[in-house]
Chains A and B, each alone.
Chain A
Amino acid sequence: MASTAPTRKAMTGKAVTRAPRDTAHEGFLGHRRGRWAKVAGTISIVALLAYLLTDATPRPNGGTWLGYTLGSIGAGMIVWLSLLGVRKRVIGSKPFSLKGWTSAHVYLGLSLIVIGTLHTGFQLGWNVHTLAWALMMIVILSGLWGISLYATLPEKLSANRGEVTQQQMLEAVRTLDRQLDLAAQPLGADDAALVRMSLEECRIAGSLGQRLSGNYHRDGNARALAAIGDKVMAAMRSGRADERLQQIQFLLERKEAALAQARRHIAMKARLELWLYVHVPVTIALLAALFAHVLSVFLYW
């Protein structure tokens, strides 16, 4: 496209030509003006028409000629699609760019919804065959989920992060921890225990559930802040403001803010990664189920 621009300019005489490729980012979704989207769309429509125009006996399923055809195509596609994991580790191989490969992976993967489901003829049950279909659907839908995340999250991630690196986020928390440690040295045992709660029982990331939900109110720092806050308020009401505790409260609040930023970052990164924790292992399970599916069909032929 970029290479043809000068000649096209010469031929059409237009004053403005399309920007060369290296100045305008072209994502894998729009690779070569959606070439693979068109290919996948065509495959899906052909499969659908074949399904609708075929009078299968006694009912459509994987055992008709169309079923075997769609099944063979689908199995081949599954194997090829799973090879993206291999392809992406081979840097700069030709002739297909990784971007083109990814584009094909996404669109052909989506067309597999049509091919795989028509292969079943909507005859589903509790067996290895439907398991393979279900795993395939989980893989495709998780991929779709991943694409939607990739389309929206990086921008938010960047906005949340500002100019701060992950290491700097951790450093900010650590610095506050050191300050808290120092500021707490003169405190009595009860107050020191609260500060220790913040220092020792605070997990920046926490469990998967915490990462995804962003709910850290049971975390050490949040509990310490709440308790110290109560103490500061009690002291102020009694007219004996405790400056050391106020200092601790201030530091805990700053730590909570630093944690919040880091945790928003973590939450978004968790979502960016989580789909792959579904997509990749389920793909491997799918390959196993596909093997069992095909072998069992021919074994009990």
Chain B
Amino acid sequence: MSRQQWARVTTLGRWLPWALTALIPLAFLAIFFVLPVFGLVSRGFHDGDTWTLSNVTAVLSSTRTWRIIRQTLLFAVSGTCCTVLLGVPGAYVLYRLRLPGQRVWRVMASVPFVLPSVVVGVAFKSLLAPNGLLGFLELDGSPVAIIAALVFFNYSVVVRTVGAFWAGLDVKQVEAARSLGASPFRAFTTVTLRALTPAIMSAAALVFLFCASAFGVVLVLGGSRYGTVETEIWYQTTALLNLPAAAALSIVQLVIVVVSLSLSNVARTHQERALRLAGRTTERSLTLTDVPALVVTVLTMGLLLVAPLATLLWRSLQTRNGFGFGNYALLATTANGSLSVSVWQAALNSLLTGAVAMLLAVTLGAAVSYLLSRRPTSIWGHALLRSLDSAFMLPLGVSAVTVGFGFLITLNRPPLDLRTSWVLIPIAQAIVALPLVVRTLLPTWRAIDPKLWEAAATLGATEGRILRTIDLPLLLRSLGLAVGFAFATSLGEFGATSFLSRPDRPTLPVVVYKLISRPGVDNLGMALAAAVVLALLTGVVMAVAELLSKGEESGW
């Protein structure tokens, strides 16, 4: 090594990369999230000339609003409770027991989360329709259908969060309790359940958030009778053109979101603290006491996860001329002119915007995760990182509808007139996917022992080389997953896209919704076939991401 290498580097050289890593994602968040949301909120308090509370009071004094708020909370609370009650046994079965085909089961359970909301809505509709498999239950258009669809979506959130934590729980704790004379039940309630509580709470808060801001499924399944604040914002904007009312409703939504997000934040920090204590892990083989959990899980996965999708596929193959691929052949048409482009063209649009959104979300998400994974020694640095952490989680809760609507009313004048630009859609989708990318990368990044960085630094590696040679290889799997998540959610994103999509370049979810809301056998058949295509695209994206990230790392 040459003597020059020991030379000092300037302070600027050390701080500039850090500052850029922080500033670029922050600027993006400020322009494409804070600005639109702020613009929307201020629109709710402003009637064009002066600041006023009249919009908000008008909305809050209408009985319709309170009915919608009641329904939103009802869906969110019952959706969350059912998901947790079904998901915890699922987490046990999929992460704690040794079962044949364990990997397949786990992938199966996690597929619904990335499925486009429109697809899920259409799938449940076809399952519960009078001529569907479960048509005799007469649940079509009922709140139960909506809650079942919400459980379908969020089941994997609970299973993954609780399961991953459960798998890492040290069995010695339970063994210690048993050896002290505790029955299996007492050991479970006093040791295991206690340890799992933060993970369950964290998952529940997240599920509540997703349920409270559900849009696509409610729009498809609720019809005109049932709605949430989200669908109401959409209805007020697109059907009644009542922007002040929609803005006021967005404020209501924001309050619900901020409250549940701060609850989830509290639970999450507890969980990460606890995770560091995790020790030896073991999967055990099946015993008689596992039968109830196994039955619940098999029933849930069969009736709730597999049945809707199987029905969707089955019914997409039924045409007016009998069984066949007729509906898929129609995808090359514009449904007798009711669509502006063919469904295949819309699928291509979706892939293009999804790819751009994915690139944006992963780049920014990686930068944010890098910052948040550092462990600053100073109290100030610590506080700064904590607030950054919360800031980048905000889009998770602030509804996609609010983001899309906000874009529409704020990014429409110079210097940023993007209303007519197609980049608006991938940007909105990236904002929605960003928290997901961060949540996928960050736990792995935080799990890397800082001593590995220190070892590399004392061996002469610069910050950049450490990032390339230590962090990147260890993160590869999570990075692949983040790419998959970002691409898949962008493909299926409906809330923000439904505001921003332009007639000549619709995306696939927008087309599916258009088709399902039109009468006619052919339209329904095309909608089902298009939903299958969308589900397949999403599934392929996730599978490819899983495969690409699984490669065995070589030596050097």
Partners in one complex: no
